[in-house]
Structures are given as C-alpha cells and as structure tokens.
Structure 1
Amino acid sequence: MNVQLQPPIATDPRSAREAETHRAISYRTTGSGHGAIVRLMSPGDLGHLIKPFVFLDLFEGESSFINGMPMHPHSGIATVTVITEGNLRFEDADSGTGMIDYGGVEWMRAGGGVWHGKEMSVGTSKRIQGFQLWIALPPTLENASVDSQYLESSVMPEVGPARVILGAYQSVQSPVRAPAGMNYLLVTLRAGESWTYIPPNGHESLWLSVSRGTLSAPRLVNAGEMAIFEPGNGAVTLKALNKDAVFVIGSAEPHPYDLALGNYSVHTNPQALRAGEAKIAEIGVRLREHLKKPGGSAGVPVFK
C-alpha cells in the first residue's frame, strides 16, 4: 500500500493562520489494485488509525465482475456497500429483490458469523463503481446475530449535497441500523462548489475518499485517493475543482478496543475472535453440506 505521511505545515505567520482554519491531512494513500478492486485501507494498516472504520475498497469496472465474487465468511464486523455509479441488483430471502444505484446501501452486520457473496448481481448498467467499508463492532454486537438491510436510494435521506449513509447529520438520521457514534456520508459537489463538514462532538476520527473528480481540502485529493485528517473535532471545507467530485467521508468517536484480526474477521479481543472463527467454520461445514444436497443452490446469497 502506498501511504504517505503529509509533510508538516510551515510555521510562517500566514501558514499558522491557515492551520487554524484548515484541518490538516495526516496520511493519504492510493492503495493497491486487485483487478476491479483497489484496497485503500485494511485493519492491519490504516484501520488502526481511524477505527471503527477498518477497511475500505474502491471498486470500478465492468458490472460483470460482481459475478466472480466467491462466497466468503465474516465475523465481528459490519460491511457497508454504497454505489457511486451504475447499479446492482440485490436478492435476499428476507428483504426481497430490488436495485441499488447511486446512494443506495447494502448493510450487513456479520456479528458472530455469516457467509455471503452472492446477494448482489449485475443490474442494468454496463459499468459499476462504489465503495465497500468495514466497521469494527463493539463487544455487545461483535458476536451477535446477523442483521442485513438493502436500502434503495429513494429512502436514503439527504442534507444538502450529502446522502446520510450511516449515523445522523444536521438532525437527519440514516435508516441503517448501525451502532451509534459514527457518520458516513456520500457527497457530490458540482464543479466549483464548496461544502463544509462539521463533525459531531466527540467524532475525533475523520477521513474521506474520492471516486470521481478532485477535491481541494485545501490540499488536493484526487480520484482514487483516501485521505485521513489529523485527530480532533475541527471542521473541514472541501471544494470540487474543474469538474464534479464524488466522495465518501466518515467521522467517528474513538473505538476504544484493540483489533484482534483473523482472515475475514475483526474482533475486540482474542477470545471473541476465536468464537467468531469457530462459528464461521461451523457455518462453512453446513454450507458445503447444503450445496451437496439435491436442489442445493450454488447461488445461495447469504448463509448463516
């Protein structure tokens, strides 16, 4: 992963005044590519800095790449998928079927364990772009039952140029059943437009990632980059430059727990990790048995 420590701001009087009004960028990265997916953050690197946000992928390419996603397990986390261009179709036994496009959300709280990977499929668009984010869950939820939501863009609330994906902003509450203490917004700024994000009290972590266009923050953040701001509670003013900019931005209260890491799991301690990995191993056995049965569907979306 290509991570850069932001150079310190000079200490001349003019720069000192700017430092009082602009929250500095501490780290930035363009991640590492894996076909249609760019991994911008993992729990073993930048996730330690801005937890509960611990993982971020930017995906972009022919929509058909989604068909190659294998079934895989998770425990201890929630995954949040948002679409920034194109659309995907969802299919779930409890939620039915529908289409997720710009601003639509798939939320899956893996909790104590789940296998998934086939709940999303090609929609009507040839190309697709979006982000998948992992949230580290608190002890009360890290080994809890699975909770999934598929929310079309029409039900996601807006505040100015922002869709409120998680949390609450300016008294507007997201319908996603996420833990309290974090915000996650999807924002589109028109060319030349400025917008100021004011984190709620206690939200010391702040980061953003751009999928299209270029932002002034006031340092430039380009498409495909993730930027992490210095800890604190200060606001950040963002401006789209020569063309429209699409980006996600997250802020949160500190996650006061260590990250116990497995291959597909993130927990708060080794004991919870062992319980989660044991559960996903047991589910995996049942999944393989299910697929061997006559009529067992290889396209089962979620197995828990």
Structure 2
Amino acid sequence: MTTSSRYPDAQVRRRIVQHTRGTAGHGPITRLMSPSDLGQLLKPFVFLDIFDVSGDGIHAMADMPLHPHSGIATVTIFTEGRVRYNDADNGQGTFGYGGVEWMRASGGVWHGKELIAEEVPRIQGFQLWIALPQDLENAEPESRYIESVGASEDQPARVILGNYQGRQSPVSAPEGVNYLLVTLKPGEQWEYQPPAGHSVGWLALAQGELTAGGIIQAGEMVSFDSSEAPVALQALGQEDAVFVLGSAVPHPHELHLGHYSVHTSRQALAQGERRIAELGMKLKTAGDRRTASGVIPIFR
C-alpha cells in the first residue's frame, strides 16, 4: 500500500548526507555507528550494530560474554528469526519480527545471557544505544520485553520507541525520541514526517533496497541533514525493504565515554562506573547463577 499520495518537492525533501557500511565487529556483528564517530552527530542515538547470524553461528550467540552498561538504554529488535528471553525479574517468552528487548541501564547493569536463539536458519536484527538525559542516566535500571510491537493495517511502520501518527510505543523511552521498524513491499512508497523538533534523522537497511533521494542498499546506514523535512522512501528491486529509522530532538550534552558507558558529564560517568564495579564484585561473589534453561539473568 502506498501511504503517501505524493513525495514532497525536491527542495524540502530530507537529504542524505552520509552513507556507511560500518566496520566488522564481533563475528556476525557489524558496527554501523559508535559514540566516537556518527554518534557524536546523531546523539541521542550513539551506537548501532546490525547482526546477521546463520548456521552454526546461531548457537555461538550463547557465547556472548556478560558485560556492563551505564548511562544508556539499549534497544534490541529482530527483523528475522526467533529467540527466547529469560529474565528472573521479567519472565520468559519468545521474540520474532517486531520483538523488542528494552534495557535502560541507567545507573548500571551487567547482562548478555538473557537471550537464546531458537532452532531457526537465520537470526537478524539491530541493537541500538540511546544516550539518556540527566534525570535518567544514574537512575534505577529498567527492563522490558515486548514479544511483538503491533502495527496498524494502513501503516508499514511499527513504533518501537516514541509516538508516531497517534500510535504510542509500549516502551517508556525518554521524550523526544522515535525509533521505527518498517517493511515496504517492492515498489511501495512511504513518507516519514518527523515530529516537531526532531532534526536528527537516520536510517539503516537490513534487507532489500531503497531510494531516498539516493540509493540505500542492504547493510547500509545513512544519516539525513539536520532539518524537520519529511523523509520520502520507495522500495526498489524484487524483495521487501526492511529497515529501522530514527529521529529525535538533539541531545544537548557532550558525550563522556567509558568502555561500556555514555554519560552527560565526567561526574555522572564516574558514578556509573563505580556502580558497575560494585555490581561486578557482587556478580563474582554470587558465582554460578545459571537457571534450568542455562540463562544467567540480568544482574542489577
């Protein structure tokens, strides 16, 4: 279905200003954005990985080491395949397309073992980090698991974070951030009109091919010029175009970076890293914390 009657005039269409295919990360993970590069320009979006795993590599996902975070929220979504989640504080279930793990690390957590792949041929998706505002960066952590964010019949977009065209995400993300998962059929057109103040904008394509005033191919991330103009898109080729799109009010603070943390000040970073170290000691003391399913729950 075409959800826009016409594209905007060329002079007001959002322009692509940068393409990237990122850098190879850990195994089947490609890092498209980090806090030291594009994250400086697109904050509060500061980090984006795309993962694409098949065959024996799917079972290797269980080897992800436990690791800490503070000062950020992580958003993991799936574009293909199925995984199980198991969190002592939030229950168990499964994710497929449109499934979301939201983890607001805030003052500090350790995680990495709460998701396990099911017996599927391929698992693909994205992990995004969002820099938190000052009132949340050292607050109590929060985790949510949504097995599938709903979609309306007349829109190809699922609202993972934020609010778009009257549809509110089930995730209580900070104000001023939208994050959508979209699938367009071959030839389908769609237009995204950012909310007022959302001058930060970007898109990352998992499958298929798009045009947005320039060609975007699978595995690419693009950033748009700083404006509130709409983004006009059309799927090309013979397969569905599956992508994520983010827009936001710019993050007003400098990024202060730790190994696994992003904060708004040196003082907030030091506080977050102290909490991570304390949790690390408690985790070591707790010893083997595996459940019957083999999962080590998130340590808060």
TM-score by length of 1: 0.91
- The residue that corresponds to 2:24 in the other structure is 33
The answer to whether the aligner puts 1:272 opposite 2:272 as a matched pair is no
The answer to whether the aligner puts 1:156 opposite 2:150 as a matched pair is yes
User: 1:114 & 1:66 partners in 2: Cα distance?
Assistant: 20
User: 2:244 & 2:186 partners in 1: Cα distance?
Assistant: 17
Match of 2:44 among 43, 52, 62: 52
**Contact 2:16 / 2:213 at 8 angstroms: preserved in 1?**
no
**Contact 2:86 / 2:295 at 8 angstroms: preserved in 1?**
no
Give structure 1 regions of 4+ aligned residues with deviation exceeding 4 angstroms.
Answer: 295-298
Identity in percent: 56
Relative distance call for 1:82 and 1:296 in structure 2 (3 A) is closer
User: 1:172 & 1:166 partners in 2: Cα distance?
Assistant: 10
Match for 2:226: what amino acid?
P
The answer to whether the aligner puts 1:229 opposite 2:232 as a matched pair is no
**Contact 1:157 / 1:174 at 8 angstroms: preserved in 2?**
no
Match of 1:66 among 61, 68, 71: 61
User: 1:76 & 1:145 partners in 2: Cα distance?
Assistant: 11
Which stretch shifts more, 267-276 or 159-168?
A: 159-168
CA RMSD of aligned residues (A): 1.5
Match for 2:225: what amino acid?
E
Q: CA deviation at 1:166?
A: 0.2
The answer to whether the aligner puts 1:93 opposite 2:84 as a matched pair is no
User: 1:209 & 1:136 partners in 2: Cα distance?
Assistant: 19
Q: CA deviation at 1:157?
A: 4.2
- The residue that corresponds to 1:201 in the other structure is 196
Correspondences of 1:105-116 after superposition (within 5 Å): 105-116=100-111
Match of 1:24 among 15, 26, 34: 15
The answer to whether the aligner puts 1:77 opposite 2:69 as a matched pair is no
**Contact 1:290 / 1:296 at 8 angstroms: preserved in 2?**
no
SS where residue 303 of structure 1 aligns?
A: coil
Higher relative contact order (CA 8 A, sep 6+): 2
User: 2:252 & 2:243 partners in 1: Cα distance?
Assistant: 27
User: 1:147 & 1:296 partners in 2: Cα distance?
Assistant: 21
User: 1:161 & 1:265 partners in 2: Cα distance?
Assistant: 34
Match of 2:233 among 227, 238, 241: 238
- The residue that corresponds to 2:282 in the other structure is 286
Match for 2:11: what amino acid?
E
- The residue that corresponds to 2:113 in the other structure is 118
After superposition, give the CA deviation of every residue in 1:222-273 in whole Å (9 maximum; x if it has no partner). 0000000000100011000012100000000011011000000000000000
User: 1:29 & 1:255 partners in 2: Cα distance?
Assistant: 22
Instruction: State the number of aligned residues.
Output: 285
Q: CA deviation at 1:70?
A: 0.6
Match for 2:41: what amino acid?
L
Match for 2:75: what amino acid?
V
Q: CA deviation at 1:68?
A: 1.4
Q: CA deviation at 1:126?
A: 2.6
Match for 1:32: what amino acid?
T
Provide structure 1 residue ranges, at least 5 long, that are not aligned to the other structure.
1-16
Which stretch shifts more, 203-212 or 23-32?
A: 23-32
- The residue that corresponds to 1:4 in the other structure is none
After superposition, give the CA deviation of every residue in 1:255-295 in whole Å (9 maximum; x if it has no partner). 10110000000000000000000000010000011116xx7
SS where residue 251 of structure 2 aligns?
A: coil
- The residue that corresponds to 2:4 in the other structure is none
